[in-house]
Amino acid sequence: MSHSSVLSSLSKINEKYRMFRTVTSETDAGDAKFLFSAKDNLTSKDMETCSGSRILEGYRPPFDATSIAKMREAGGLLVGKTNMDEFGFGTFSTNSAFGVPRNPYDLERSCGGSSGGAACAAAVMEGHVAIGVSTGGSICCPASFCGVYGVVPTYGRVSRYGLLDYGNSLDKIGIISSNASDLGKYVEIMAGADPRDPTSCVQPAIGARRKLKSVAVPGDATEGVSEDVKKAFKDGLEALKSMGVDVEKVEMPSLRYAIPAYYVIATSEASTNLARYCGMRYGHQDGDLSLKFDDYFTSFRSQYFGEETKRRILLGTFTRMVGFRDRYYSKARRVRQSIIEEYRSVLSGCDAVLTPTMPFVSPKFTDISKMTPVESYKADILTGPPNIAGMPHASMPCGYDRDGMPIGMQFVANHWDEGVLFSAAEEWEKNFDAVRPEVSI
């Protein structure tokens, strides 16, 4: 399919799968080298940027995020902004204020979250490159649920300039695609020091591709994981062994504390970041100006923020309150440090830590609606650890359950060692029998 014919079919595709919040009005791809989409929390000059939230409806940023600017400079055409959980708060993209993307393998199921629209676009449109963002799992989770490849580079590798912050110390911009070779190719385009994001400034160059020779599997990697995921993961391990990769078992006892620590740090940061959305600067500004300023802000935020967003503001404000800060926020930071040290020590003896990506296959929307918030937070049990540690990681498809739903496995490498993940993905793709979803529009 030519680029221009993809452009003309976007709206139809979107009607069925709902991956896009905004679709370009461009119908002629001109001499574009590739088509890409960006998660709706990255600013772009020519399209609204709402981060999946009503409160930002109508916000048109006057500048491109660095990641988007670099993709355009490399010859990419931005075709749309993808649906996501509001501000990245979620695991199933069901907390989106605009549209909930539908899994191309079964429309009654989720695409994962919070970059659900991105993974959906990558799965549905062969050759499409989707920019996703991960704070605590939002690239690997949807990549796994949609049977595609997803990579999260080291924290600081890609500039966060133009990203609407969720948790500044956690947010990472990466790539989702159905082609393994796109991971390295497009991360290399987006990466690099940017004076507008100081956390991106000190970074070693992305090293040459390095063959994956050994992986470590934590002893409790499949604890609480569904039988289908266990089986696909075991098959994945056997396949890796037959590709000449050494597999060893290790103990990583700190990893089980990643989720509580992550939710404390992430919500603490989010609750301060969201203070700027108060009906004065961005998006809707149609509140009742005769109100006192705090009543104005409260009425505005009550009206336009979704339920999960309100929950996280309350939680994050609580965890950094005087009197509770040491008990929660400071303790969570210490947990984070021990997780980093544990990864470093294991990765000094092997190339990557390997686990399944998600504990189960993509659930049905009817089941998601019955989940409590804590049940859905627990779904991040395997994707949380590398995110809190800022380690680069990638999800690759490794099998399908009895209903044909995709299952993924997650490789975690040492800081700045993306090269080993890129080559592992390329090698794996040659050996894995992928089943593409049947796409009809």
Known active-site residue 370? no
Q: What's the rounded Cα separation, in Å, for the pair 418 and 398? A: 20
Retrieve residue 165's tokens.
């912050």
C-beta of 178: minimal distance to ligand GLN in Å? Answer: 21
C-beta of 87: minimal distance to ligand GLN in Å? Answer: 8
User: Does residue 393 contact residue 152 with C-beta atoms inside 8 Å?
Assistant: yes
Out of 37, 83, 93, 114, the residue judged to bind ligand GLN by CB under 6 A = 114
Among the listed residues 39, 70, 81, 172, the single catalytic one is 39
Q: What's the rounded Cα separation, in Å, for the pair 371 and 116? A: 18
Q: What's the rounded Cα separation, in Å, for the pair 357 and 350? A: 19
Residues 247-276 that bind ligand GLN (CB under 6 A): 266
Residues 153-182 that bind ligand GLN (CB under 6 A): 166
Number of neighbouring beta carbons within 10 Å of residue 24 = 19
Retrieve residue 434's tokens.
């992928």
- By beta-carbon proximity to ligand GLN, the closer residue of 280 and 314 is 314
The contacts of residue 384 (CB under 8 Å, 6+ apart) are 136, 137, 258, 259, 262
Among the listed residues 37, 53, 110, 114, the single catalytic one is 114
Give φ, ψ of 275 to 5 degrees. Answer: -60, -25
Known active-site residue 2? no
Beta 172-177 vs 149-152: how paired, if at all?
A: antiparallel
Asked if 137 touches ligand GLN (CB under 6 A), the answer is yes
C-beta of 145: minimal distance to ligand GLN in Å? Answer: 12
Count of residues of this chain found to bind ligand GLN when the rule CB under 6 A is applied: 13
Known active-site residue 172? no
Residues 358-417 that bind ligand GLN (CB under 6 A): 380
- By beta-carbon proximity to ligand GLN, the closer residue of 163 and 266 is 266
- By beta-carbon proximity to ligand GLN, the closer residue of 95 and 222 is 95
Secondary structure (3-state) at 437: coil
User: Does residue 17 contact residue 437 with C-beta atoms inside 8 Å?
Assistant: no
- By beta-carbon proximity to ligand GLN, the closer residue of 272 and 298 is 272
Asked if 78 touches ligand GLN (CB under 6 A), the answer is no
Q: What's the rounded Cα separation, in Å, for the pair 278 and 274? A: 8
Nearest Cα residue to 13 out of 110, 113, 126, 96: 126
C-beta of 349: minimal distance to ligand GLN in Å? Answer: 29
Q: Which stretch binds ligand GLN (CB under 6 A): 130-138, 157-165, 211-219, 271-279?
A: 130-138
Cα dihedral 106, 39, 337, 266 sign? negative
- By beta-carbon proximity to ligand GLN, the closer residue of 59 and 166 is 166
- By beta-carbon proximity to ligand GLN, the closer residue of 76 and 174 is 174
Asked if 90 touches ligand GLN (CB under 6 A), the answer is yes
Q: What's the rounded Cα separation, in Å, for the pair 199 and 211? A: 28
Residues interacting with ligand GLN, by CB under 6 A?
88-91, 114, 134-138, 166, 266, 380
Catalytic positions are: 39, 114, 138
